Amino acid sequence: MKGIVPFSIDDLETFNVNKDGEPEVIYQPLYHYQTYPLAGFTGPLLFFQTNVGAAGILLEDTNMRTAGRMPTPKNAALVGIEVVFRPGNLPMAPGSVTVSNWNDVNAVHGGRMSLSLRIGDKTYLEEAPLGTMPMQWRCDGVAALSDSTTAGAAQRTKIDYAAFCGAPYLLVPMRLIANQEFSVTINSPAAVALPSGVDGKIGVRLAALQYRLAQ
């Protein structure tokens, strides 16, 4: 059994972050999250058209530094896409046995909505339903419940969590040059309401290799 084989000094230079004036590449997805209204929406939800520092927009909402484009001198190669949806309910709650989170996830990822990726004046991806571009992370674990049978039917607890899962949705690499306009829209011809009656959170993540100047 072999131990860890180290890089040679020459090979290690390939990963040097201190190369003044030379380009470097990092894996850094682009993301944008926003509220999914409980009543649904008609028309498009627009993504990547706002930036950190705009009114009320934080790094937890998006990592875009310039709305709708890569800032100079950055370039990016888009290599994958996923749609993230999180219901607004807690996974575990007392009350009725209705599986609200399951119903919300099924409504969004299986509902009559589509996604479009546009770069410049051309559309490079049209896809539906949203569940074909599943999120690549989810809550996982085990749980057990033991409820009292006294004091009425309202005394019960549910565990209700769901997420669409599947293989990553890969893209033929597409280059975004600095200041190239791009956008993603989620389109809904008719409002797809959330059965839970609670606002959710929806987002788009673009798997990307980002090219920039090293330090």
pLDDT in tens, 33-51: 999 999 999 989 999 999 9
Domain ranges of the chain: 22-137+154-213
pLDDT classification of 146: cutoffs 50, 70, 90: low
Residue 13 phi/psi, 5-degree rounding, is -60, -25
pLDDT in tens, 92-104: 766 666 678 889 9
pLDDT in tens, 61-84: 999 999 999 999 999 999 999 999
Query: Closest Cα to residue 114, out of 209, 189, 12, 14?
Result: 189
Percentage, residues of the chain above pLDDT 90? 67
Percentage, residues of the chain above pLDDT 70? 90
Higher pLDDT, 93 or 205: 205
**Reduced to 3 states, what is the DSSP secondary structure of residue 154?**
coil
pLDDT in tens, 114-134: 999 999 999 999 999 999 999
Residue 103 to residues 62, 98, 116, 127, 145: CA-CA distances in angstroms? 27, 9, 24, 22, 21
May I ask the CATH architecture of the domain 22-137+154-213?
Sandwich (2.60)
* Whether residue 148 has pLDDT greater than 80: no
